[in-house]
Structure 1
Amino acid sequence: MKIFRFKSISLLSHAEKKARRITFSPHRNLLVGGNHTGKSTIIKSLFITLGAYPEGKLSRWDVGAITLVSFTINEKNYSVLYQKPLRALFDDKGSLLFLTFKDGEWGTYFSQLLGFNLALTDKNNETVIADARAFFLPFYINQDGSWFSGWNTFRYMGQYKSPVPSVLDYFTGVKPPEYYELNSMRRTKLFSRADIVRDKLLVEQVRLRLSNKLPLSGPKVVPEAFEQDISRLTSEITELNAKQEDKRNELVRLRETVSSLFLQIQMADEALRNYKKDTRYLQSDHDLDLTCPTCGAEHNKIFFDLLSFTDDARVLFDLSVRLKEDLIDAQNKVRLKEVDLKILNENYVRINKILEIKRGDLIFGDVILGMGGEAASLAFEEELSELKSKIKEINIEIESIDADIAVLVSRKRSSEILSNFRISFEKSASLLNVSFENSKKMNLSSRPDVSGSAGPRSILAYYAAIWSNCSGKYGSFSVPLVIDSPQQQGQDEENLPRMIAFISSHLLGNKQIILGAEATTQETFDHVVRLSAEYRLLQEDEWDEVKDIIDPFLEKIHKYTIEN
């Protein structure tokens, strides 16, 4: 079982010159504070940084703030820095592993890093690998939507068609990661077999046509067909030549765009390097005062603040980043055009060679005449025999894969998981003072729809039943359980403590728990973060400490963007 754990989150706002760093225990964590003190901001920022956007807005939050989330996968440390739209992944030594400005690229890379191979169907009926939204979906109760009967946890889930059943089947073990590995192998084998079957049909068709035109009694050459071939090939090569000219013109324009972008980037980077030299000089210890060239006034180091070099450098850095993103797009277009041109050129050369042969003394009919119908028929039979043998081998491999898949998705296994889910739900509902009559008819995706204050408690019991199976013998991932604000729909003085006690004591094992709550509790948590001031999550007195943590990562990103 792979174990994912949050280690810390650092938040920093250059606009406000404030920051905050929160660390997490690998076990039970409590974020406690009233409304607008930052509980949900911390929790939502964890997921946003990793590519999943929770429902709900961050009120009065600096959208340009930097977040740095550190986590472990099987005890190996990683960190992700996020400043919209940039995401950068670093390893435990601080080395930059991946950088992108696009959510889609990040989602693919993050799933590969996790070994999260769940395949979903998107709205275009295409199979895609799920991303962070699906990975965290069963393990996060978002105060903005998750406490009700719908799966309104993350935004943009409409990209997929009915993702929830597949996600739950994956994590509970109904269709575990091994199923998707085998299914991928099976699809590959099916594609290979389809290619070979097409080749076999083509050979059979050619053999049939040849047998009709070239009886075994003797070969036959048709001059009219030869003349038609010459005319067709000449027309094709003329058309290809025109297409080549169009592609070359497009390629010239794209290369001019790339050259222009290179020049703009060099100018921006050169200006940025000059700013950095000036900034280091102004920050250095020297005895000379600075003299204004206009008025002659002398200034001490406070003059550095007036120059606003930091803000100017940041503007140049953002410009350089945007230019490099445009450069990458332009270079990709150039490569695609070069590939298109290469294919056209290869076809041009191929057809030209055929045309030269056709126009020469060597005529295909002479070859057939030399071989004889019987020799041609023998060659076809040998080819068909080889193709049939390959098809048989692939069929045996597919049957073996089907047998392995059948074991993974057996009815006995599914029934066992569903039974454990229902038993766990009944037990959790009882502990949470919820009466639920239809538990024996529940499926994994059957979220309760209960009105009143019992609704949130029934939802918590439902999630607990899911989590119990995810950490059971068929589970494949251990993911943090994140619960934001259980004080929903008027939980009274008896039931709210009951919910917090359930979270603190019942959800044990190797799980990491992060609970955001409004009221203090007598229950024991391994790490408690107390938040008190409204709209003041970030603190001035933490600015220097957090900036010292984040700056080395920014330096590496900056160096990478300049060098690439």
Structure 2
Amino acid sequence: MKTWKLREMLVVSPVQRAARRLKFDPELTIIRGKNDTGKSSLIKTIFNTFGARPARISDRWKALNVTSLVRFSVGTKNYCILRAGDLFGVFDDEARPLHRAASVGELSPYLAQLFDFKLKLPDRATGKPVVPPPAFYFLPFYIDQDAGWTATWSSFANLQQFPGAKKDLAEYHVGIFPNEYYQRKAAKAEFQQKLEEPRVKERVLRGLQADIEQRTKETTIEFDIKEFKLIIDRLLKRAESLKQREDEYRTNIVELRNRLDEVSAQRAIVERTRDELRLDYNYANAAPDEVQCPTCGAGYSNHISERFEFANNEQQCVDLLTGLVNKAAKLEREISTTQERLTQSTAELREVEELLEARKGEVTLGELIESEGRKGFRKALEADASIVQKQIGELEATVRGHDEEMKKFASKERRQAIIDNYRHRMEHHLMLLNVNSNHSTLLKRIDAKVNETGSDLPRSILAYTMSIWGVMSKYGSSEAFAPTAIDAINQQEQDDQNLVKMLTLIRDHRPQGTQLVMGVVDTKDVEFPGTEVRMTKTYSALLASEFQSVNDELSPYLNALIASPQF
């Protein structure tokens, strides 16, 4: 298994003009502080930077409008990821850009490839298998302060996009099926989706064939011609409706592009202003404290406050640029969506027009060769049905092939070994945490809900999480074991004895070689290896004293991110 590690996080708030540099120990980083000192906000920001939004983020933290950059390593390679609003940028160790995304959806496939996360889940709207957002990769690795201590697999927001995915997630992460199984399963689902269209066509064709047979017995050619005329009238009305919709889409695209041009023009102005302010700042910074007018010889003060104002205005330009880039990205997505709808509408209109022409031809043919009745139409339907049946047969054969491949990766022995390993760990951890395991639902299934209450609930959640980590480290499907995080362990007013047991379990039983970030108020004299970060001031997770240095270090990445739509 290939472990990846957090190295450092930079967080900057232009609103508060404060920042924080947080270095991570490769083994364990404890963020210690009293309530409201910002421990949880910093831990949440780690995952949020990767596009995995925690279940809750405080309004106070949201108001800071932070930009964050996380440096990390996967195997022997170093990377960093930047988040500014809804924009994401991934860079290599030399700060060279690798990937840019204007949404979590655009970021997900890249991170899935980087972290060897091959699971695909059926989209709620379309049923099509898609790469789930990063939250589904990080789910087992994080116990969130606000949501993670009440239920398993619940530390992130927007998980309802894939209802009923908990079983697939649990089985994937613990390795009941390897990555290859899920790749085949996704491919099978894609071909099953492709089967829907020809199957619908086959049902329609069979219905038409049955209808033609019935009408041939019951009606005359004269009635048949009238029926064709009615069909043609309906097709004409449908074509007219599609043309109107097509015109609306074209108008919308023109309006959206005009708005995009306006945003681009605003962006160019702001970029020019930022560059001019930077030149002014550099000139003022290099000039002496007393500047003499070359014309009249009068002396003027080059005070630090004037230079600070230049720097402050430049930062405002950068903030405005970030907003404009986000707005431009949103407009581009709207244009793309509208263009897709226009393309679909145009294709549908073309099909209607072709069918209309064919129908007109059929009416003329029917009038000319009444003696043949509907023979030609029946033959055409039979030919179409034959083509569709061939398509269905080929697709079904492909689906069966993927089924056979899936069976090769589905080992009953492996499943049983993983379940046994999980139950052994779970029983042991529940015993160490003083939780009665006789009636625990967590022993029955890997994806079970927790039925404990009161102070037993968070201890059961911890026992479950540590058991899952242990199984994943031995059998997990993904080769990349992510950094883990546990926040605010003292839930439901644990007594000192149980709290010490929880802290000791974390210290002694987490998988070897993995990384942990933990937010605590007090470690109860349980000694931990690694690094400790002290948070001392209420509502001061970010520090004014670190703003300039952190902002200067982060700015080149941000400038690269907003400089152009593509890296």
Please report the TM-score for the alignment, with normalisation by the length of structure 2: 0.78
SS in 2 for 1:192: helix
User: Structure 1, residues 116-145: CA drift from partner, whole Å, max 9, x if none?
Assistant: 344456776856643233222222223334
Task: Indicate which of 543, 554, 564 corresponds to 1:560.
Answer: 564
After TM superposition, the structure 1 = structure 2 runs for residues 100-499 of structure 1, keeping only pairs within 5 Å, are 100=101, 102-107=103-108, 110-111=111-112, 113-120=114-121, 129-148=131-150, 153-200=155-202, 249-285=251-287, 289=291, 298-305=300-307, 308-334=309-335, 364=365, 387-406=388-407, 408-409=409-410, 412-438=413-439, 441-444=443-446, 445-447=448-450, 449-452=452-455, 455-476=457-478, 477-492=480-495, 494-499=497-502
SS in 2 for 1:471: helix
Equivalence for 1:502: 505
Q: Distance in 2 between matches of 1:284 and 1:383?
A: 80
Measured after TM superposition, the shift of residue 531 of structure 1 is 0.7
- Shifted more, 539-548 versus 43-52: the winner is 539-548
Aligned residue identity for 1:313: E
Pick closer, same or farther for the CA change 1:266–1:227 going to 2, 3 Å: same
Q: Distance in 2 between matches of 1:374 and 1:341?
A: 38
- Shifted more, 348-357 versus 40-49: the winner is 348-357
SS in 2 for 1:462: helix
Pick closer, same or farther for the CA change 1:312–1:482 going to 2, 3 Å: same
Alpha-carbon contact 1:70-1:79 (below 8 Å) kept: yes
Q: Distance in 2 between matches of 1:53 and 1:352?
A: 47
Measured after TM superposition, the shift of residue 346 of structure 1 is 7.0
Pick closer, same or farther for the CA change 1:12–1:364 going to 2, 3 Å: same
Alpha-carbon contact 1:357-1:363 (below 8 Å) kept: no
Q: Distance in 1 between matches of 2:182 and 2:106?
A: 21
Measured after TM superposition, the shift of residue 100 of structure 1 is 4.5
Equivalence for 1:551: 555
Alpha-carbon contact 1:145-1:151 (below 8 Å) kept: no
- Shifted more, 404-413 versus 549-558: the winner is 404-413
Alpha-carbon contact 1:4-1:480 (below 8 Å) kept: yes
User: Structure 1, residues 16-44: CA drift from partner, whole Å, max 9, x if none?
Assistant: 55433222233333334444454333322
Equivalence for 1:512: 515
Measured after TM superposition, the shift of residue 171 of structure 1 is 0.7
Alpha-carbon contact 2:473-2:511 (below 8 Å) kept: no
Q: Distance in 1 between matches of 2:230 and 2:36?
A: 81
Alpha-carbon contact 2:90-2:100 (below 8 Å) kept: yes
Pick closer, same or farther for the CA change 1:355–1:163 going to 2, 3 Å: closer
Q: Distance in 1 between matches of 2:315 and 2:200?
A: 58
Please report the TM-score for the alignment, with normalisation by the length of structure 1: 0.79
Aligned residue identity for 2:310: F
Alpha-carbon contact 1:87-1:100 (below 8 Å) kept: yes
Identity of aligned residues (%): 25
Alpha-carbon contact 1:450-1:458 (below 8 Å) kept: no
Measured after TM superposition, the shift of residue 411 of structure 1 is 5.1
Measured after TM superposition, the shift of residue 300 of structure 1 is 2.0
Q: Distance in 1 between matches of 2:84 and 2:313?
A: 18
Equivalence for 1:51: 51
Instruction: Pick the structure with greater CA Rg.
Output: 1
Pick closer, same or farther for the CA change 1:139–1:338 going to 2, 3 Å: closer
Alpha-carbon contact 1:30-1:514 (below 8 Å) kept: yes
Q: Distance in 1 between matches of 2:347 and 2:157?
A: 47
Q: Distance in 2 between matches of 1:408 and 1:388?
A: 31
Pick closer, same or farther for the CA change 1:350–1:125 going to 2, 3 Å: closer
RMSD: 4.7
Pick closer, same or farther for the CA change 1:342–1:30 going to 2, 3 Å: closer
Q: Distance in 1 between matches of 2:228 and 2:147?
A: 72
Alpha-carbon contact 2:86-2:326 (below 8 Å) kept: no
SS in 2 for 1:511: coil
Aligned residue identity for 2:508: S
SS in 2 for 1:470: helix
Equivalence for 1:39: 39
Q: Distance in 1 between matches of 2:430 and 2:234?
A: 77
Pick closer, same or farther for the CA change 1:242–1:87 going to 2, 3 Å: closer
Pick closer, same or farther for the CA change 1:538–1:433 going to 2, 3 Å: same
SS in 2 for 1:89: strand
Alpha-carbon contact 1:68-1:81 (below 8 Å) kept: yes
Measured after TM superposition, the shift of residue 355 of structure 1 is 8.2
Q: Distance in 2 between matches of 1:63 and 1:365?
A: 74
Alpha-carbon contact 1:120-1:129 (below 8 Å) kept: yes
Q: Distance in 1 between matches of 2:355 and 2:166?
A: 56
Measured after TM superposition, the shift of residue 424 of structure 1 is 0.7
User: Structure 1, residues 214-249: CA drift from partner, whole Å, max 9, x if none?
Assistant: 99xxx99x8878877887777666666666655555
Q: Distance in 2 between matches of 1:418 and 1:384?
A: 48
Aligned residue identity for 1:269: E
Alpha-carbon contact 1:38-1:531 (below 8 Å) kept: no
User: Structure 1, residues 329-383: CA drift from partner, whole Å, max 9, x if none?
Assistant: 44554555556666666777888799899999x96569999x9999998887776
SS in 1 for 2:564: helix
1:534 is aligned to 2:537: yes
Alpha-carbon contact 2:426-2:467 (below 8 Å) kept: yes
Measured after TM superposition, the shift of residue 433 of structure 1 is 4.1
Measured after TM superposition, the shift of residue 423 of structure 1 is 0.9
Q: Distance in 2 between matches of 1:349 and 1:126?
A: 27
User: Structure 1, residues 451-506: CA drift from partner, whole Å, max 9, x if none?
Assistant: 44x55444322222111211223543512222224344455555444433332222
Aligned residue identity for 2:9: I
Aligned residue identity for 2:188: R
Measured after TM superposition, the shift of residue 255 of structure 1 is 4.5
Pick closer, same or farther for the CA change 1:543–1:252 going to 2, 3 Å: closer
Aligned residue identity for 1:560: S
Equivalence for 1:19: 19
Consecutive unaligned residues of structure 1, counting only runs of 5 or more, are none
- Shifted more, 191-200 versus 272-281: the winner is 191-200
Alpha-carbon contact 2:46-2:70 (below 8 Å) kept: yes
Alpha-carbon contact 2:321-2:562 (below 8 Å) kept: no
Q: Distance in 2 between matches of 1:497 and 1:48?
A: 30
Aligned residue identity for 1:167: L
Pick closer, same or farther for the CA change 1:304–1:368 going to 2, 3 Å: farther
Q: Distance in 2 between matches of 1:368 and 1:286?
A: 101
